[in-house]
């Protein structure tokens, strides 16, 4: 199979950027938020373990809904629902303060994979259009600040974060919207991601070439990709020689 590749679209987490284990990072962020907020704003007697447990449970449910229905799931909505369920007052101001404190805690944690910048730079030099699609509950602006801090933001013509979209991967709409904005047909585009049920399935369903980057998620059940890579830089060879997309 051979075709001229005009665009490469990337997943973010564990493809371009690495995070600490979320099962540690997320509760630590909620614990930090509780400690910061409880000293200044009333939480109506809610104790730290109950607060963190309720947020973790609702965050897990939000992730399960992603891509299955139009929901625009985001961290702010998760926090608001938990506060409502716990009967805590203060409304939007308290929810915003908790979310801000959470982001303050997680701010230092994402780091680009070692060959992210060099790979994106080479693809850009080759005239390849670049975009990013990420399933996330975090605010778009938080991720964009991380990408800007790490020198990656300017490479991407378009960035789609599910927290600000009605649909998430693997739904076709988030892929097709990105391709339309790039002005590239699915048959001339590669999607690179590490999760078969979201990244690979979504890309294949719209007719893109799908490349699986090995990570701790890459053995999840899902369709077979056109190619598999262990390091991001391998995508350059697939662009130069698309016969490797089988």
For residue 218, what pLDDT band results from cuts at 50, 70 and 90? low
Residue 2 has pLDDT above 60, yes or no: no
Helices (H) then strands (E): counts for the chain: 9, 8
pLDDT computed for residue 1 by the predictor: 43
Do 154 and 134 fall into the same domain?
yes
Do 15 and 34 fall into the same domain?
no
Residue 91 has pLDDT above 90, yes or no: no
What pTM value is reported for the model? Answer: 0.93
Residue 225 has pLDDT above 80, yes or no: yes
Ranking 78-87, 145-154, 173-182, 202-211 by mean pLDDT, the lowest is: 78-87
Residue 2 lies in a domain: no
Do 238 and 127 fall into the same domain?
yes
Question: Which residues in the chain belong to E strands, given as ranges?
Answer: 7-10, 17-18, 111-112, 129-134, 158-161, 189-193, 209-213, 227-229
Residue 58 has pLDDT above 90, yes or no: yes
Do 122 and 94 fall into the same domain?
no
Domain hosting 94: range is 22-106
Residue 115 lies in a domain: yes
pLDDT computed for residue 134 by the predictor: 97
In contact, 55 and 74? CB cutoff 8 Å: no
Do 96 and 128 fall into the same domain?
no
Distance (Å, whole) CA 163 – CA 34: 23
CATH of the domain at 128: 3.40.50.1000
Mean pLDDT for the stretch of residues 26-39: 93
**How many structural domains are present in the chain?**
2
Do 102 and 43 fall into the same domain?
yes
Residue 127 lies in a domain: yes
Q: Is 48 helix (H, G, I), strand (E, B) or coil?
A: helix
Average pLDDT, the chain: 93
């Amino acid at each position: 199979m051979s075709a001229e590749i005009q665009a490469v679209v990337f997943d973010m987490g564990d493809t371009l950027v690495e995070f600490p284990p979320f099962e540690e990072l997320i509760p630590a962020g909620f614990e930090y938020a509780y400690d910061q907020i409880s000293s200044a704003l009333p939480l109506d007697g809610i104790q730290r373990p109950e607060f963190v447990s309720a947020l973790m449970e609702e965050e897990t449910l939000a992730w399960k809904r992603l891509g299955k229905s139009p929901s625009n799931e985001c961290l702010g909505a998760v926090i608001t629902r938990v506060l409502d369920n716990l009967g805590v007052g203060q409304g939007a101001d308290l929810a915003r303060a908790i979310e801000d404190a959470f982001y303050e805690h997680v701010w230092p944690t994402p780091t680009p994979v070692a060959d992210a910048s060099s790979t994106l730079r080479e693809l850009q030099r080759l005239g390849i259009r670049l975009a990013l699609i990420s399933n996330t509950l975090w605010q778009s602006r938080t991720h964009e600040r991380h990408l800007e801090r790490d020198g990656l933001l300017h490479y991407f013509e378009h960035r789609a974060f599910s927290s600000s979209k009605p649909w998430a991967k693997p739904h076709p709409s988030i892929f097709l919207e990105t391709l339309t904005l790039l002005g590239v047909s699915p048959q001339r585009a590669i999607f690179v991601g590490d999760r078969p049920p979201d990244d690979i399935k979504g890309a294949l369903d719209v007719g893109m070439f799908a490349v699986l980057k090995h990570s701790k998620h890459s053995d999840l059940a899902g369709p077979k990709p056109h190619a598999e890579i262990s390091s991001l830089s391998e995508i350059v060879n697939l662009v130069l020689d698309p016969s490797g997309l089988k």
